[in-house]
Structure 1
Amino acid sequence: MVEKNKIKVEKLNLFYGENQALHGIGLEIKNNSIVALIGPSGCGKSTFLRTLNRMNDLIDSVRINGNIYVDGQNIYGQEMDVALLRKKVGMVFQRPNPFPMSIYDNIAYGPRIHGTKRKAVLDEIVEKSLVQAALWDEVKDRLHKSALGLSGGQQQRLCIARLLAVEPDVLLMDEPTSALDPISTLKVEELTQTLKEKYTIIIVTHNMQQAARISDYTSFFLNGELIESDQTDKIFTAPTDQRTEDYITGRFG
């Protein structure tokens, strides 16, 4: 069976005012895979990640040219509904950002906005999302308590569950474990392995070991350019570009 591309990026350039942050990025991302974006700080990883659900549209000075296709549809085309795009391609941020409301209401928030009102349906969505995020057993007896009372690792998994509740196709993760302790980090990493059966996951990480552990493919960014992208084991054992090898072996970055 031929693996289908979920996302195709062609000749993507991004400018902050006069400053060019991304240079001619081309990348294909396969369905139900985990892609790690690596590279030193300020190299364009997070900027690129945010182009995939048009989060950069929220910054006044940003100008973008090139094409990004999700399931064959150009997300920068005029007919694209950006609200629907962000439902389909959701984002998990570096620091957990639960809403100041109950655990239940955090998860139900998105479905309610999209028109789901029946309590029985919301109950089912909340349980299913928390089960998928490996959090249900830890919080099922405190669903109506404040989400702010959860630990950092639990809050991050809650944010993942909140995303899953609106049934996305793609999960964007911007250093989702950088603020977490090692045990919480491991839980999130294990979670990604389960989630990729149903979703396509693109994760920005500064942690080389994490990229090697959890991703199927790795893309190395440097100074706004995509230097190399390949299967993770090849990137880490036999990269084709010397700059990739220098970064992975700690010579810079």
Structure 2
Amino acid sequence: MSNKITVRDLNLFYRDLQALININLDITEKMVSALIGPSGCGKSTFLRTLNRMNDLIEGVRVEGQILMDGEDIYKSDVDVVALRKKVGMVFQRPNPFPMTVYENIAYGPRIHGQRDRRRLEEIVESSLRAAALWDEVKDRLHKNALGLSGGQQQRLCIARLLAVEPAVVLMDEPTSALDPISTLKVEELIRELKNKYTIVIVTHNMQQAARVSDTTAFFLNGELVEYGDTELIFTGPKDKRTEDYITGRFG
């Protein structure tokens, strides 16, 4: 397997506060990488460096390199809009647009120039099928998406992201606001999607990280303490701090 993302000597500052300290890791293509660690440890900040979402925060400064397919995404001539199309993001709480299910999915392709009605219908159906939602909403395509359940809304947001054909999918605690059954459906979906996409997920749920990820990174106080095969991280961590966190001694 080849590396999709290579991170070297990454430091991030919120003005004078250093939030990420000398991060180095490789994210393998078409695998699920989980980021774990206590609140405030830098894992969500790190996730947002991968599609430059931190650029939207005043006073943020980034040092180091993040290479995606060998290209430095922080070079001055990078088209950030194109980058965020390539590297999509699913947030902690479902955030469907206050419009129909159909329009939620068609929105992105339209923004990127797709105008053909038949092609848009194909994209809507294929995206909803990829997000395991088509059978539940095919008779409700022209009803407001806000009428869907929380779990359906989150899968709709995943479908909306898939509609613009990303290469990488970032997920920031995508099931923390969902009930157990909806969580299970999203986890099943993550396992299916890795056949086509590189996925990086932030989770506070140790069991979830163990269930869905191939590799796991443990962050603490802005540092990457340990990164490796998920099974090895959970059964034989090399660092005592990793073991203490996984076994519930802190965090």
TM > 0.5: yes
Is 1:171 matched up with 2:169? yes
Letter in 1 for 2:67: Y
Paired position in structure 2 for 1:102? 100
Residues 42-88 of structure 1: CA deviation (Å, up to 9, x unaligned): 00000000000000000011010000001111000122110000000
Within 5 Å, give how 1:55-70 maps onto structure 2. 55-70=53-68
* SS at structure 2 position matched to 1:29: strand
* Matching residue of 1:237: 235
Q: Which structure 2 residue ranges, 5 or more long, are not aligned?
A: none
Q: Give the drift of 1:184.
A: 0.1
- What residue in structure 1 maps to residue 7 of structure 2? 9
| Shift in Å, 1:155 | 0.1
Aligned match for 2:29, one of 28, 31, 37 = 31
Q: Choose from 190, 212, 215 the match for 2:213.
A: 215
User: Superposed, which structure 2 residues align to 1:56-205 within 5 Å?
Assistant: 56-205=54-203
1:240 positional shift: 0.3
Q: Any idea what SS the aligned residue of 1:219 has? A: strand
Can you list the C-alpha shifts for 1:83-123, whole angstroms capped at 9, x where unaligned?
00000000000000000000000000000000001110000
Cα separation, 2, equivalents of 1:180 and 1:69: 33
CA distance in 2 between partners of 1:134 and 1:231 (Å)? 28
For residues 174 and 25 of structure 2, the distance between their equivalents in structure 1, rounded to whole angstroms, comes to 22
CA distance in 1, matches of 2:219, 2:158: 25
AA partner of residue 136 (structure 1): W
3-state SS of 1:117 partner: coil
For residue 149 of structure 1, report the CA deviation from its aligned partner.
Answer: 0.2
Identity of aligned residues (%): 74
Give the structure-1-normalised TM-score: 0.99
Structure 1, unmatched stretches of 5+, are none
* C-alpha deviation, 1:197, in angstroms: 0.2
CA–CA distance in structure 2, aligned partners of residues 64 and 214 of structure 1: 30
Q: Which amino acid aligns with 1:177?
A: T
- Read off the aligned partner of 2:188 and give its amino acid letter: E
Aligned-partner SS, 1:193: helix
For 1:95 and 1:27, the matched residues in 2 are separated by 28
Q: 2:150 & 2:16 partners in 1: Cα distance?
A: 38
The match for 1:249 is 247
Distance 1:232 1:84 in 2: 31
For the residue of structure 1 that corresponds to 2:62, the secondary structure is: strand
Distance 2:220 2:100 in 1: 41
TM-score w.r.t. length of structure 2:
1.00
Q: Deviations over 1:29-50 (max 9, x none)?
A: 0000000000000000000000
**Considering only aligned residues, what root-mean-square deviation do their CA atoms show, in Å?**
0.3
